[in-house]
Amino acid sequence: MSVKKTILRHKLIINKLRHRPLSWPEIDRMLQYEATFLGYDFLTISQRQFQRDIDDIREIYRISIE
């Protein structure tokens, strides 16, 4: 996956979770919805990839997501 897609996905996750907690299915739907408008393929993200994103967000941006 390209770095640009990864950074954009991180940004979407951070922005959505700042407003309220979301479950995995809600996050998955949100990424699919955003992908249709942005022209990116987030449709194949797995729950394991999401967990890796959470770990990356904690390490890179110093934002802890519970």
- The domain segmentation of the chain, as residue ranges, is 3-61
The reported pTM is: 0.85
Tens-of-pLDDT digits for all 66 residues of the chain? 588 889 999 999 999 999 999 999 999 999 888 888 888 776 678 999 999 999 999 999 999 998
Cβ neighbours of 53 (radius 10 Å): 19
Phi-psi region of 22 (alpha: psi -120 to 50; beta: other; left: phi over 0): beta
CA distance 34 to 27: 10
Q: pLDDT of 14-29, one tens digit each?
A: 999 999 999 999 999 9
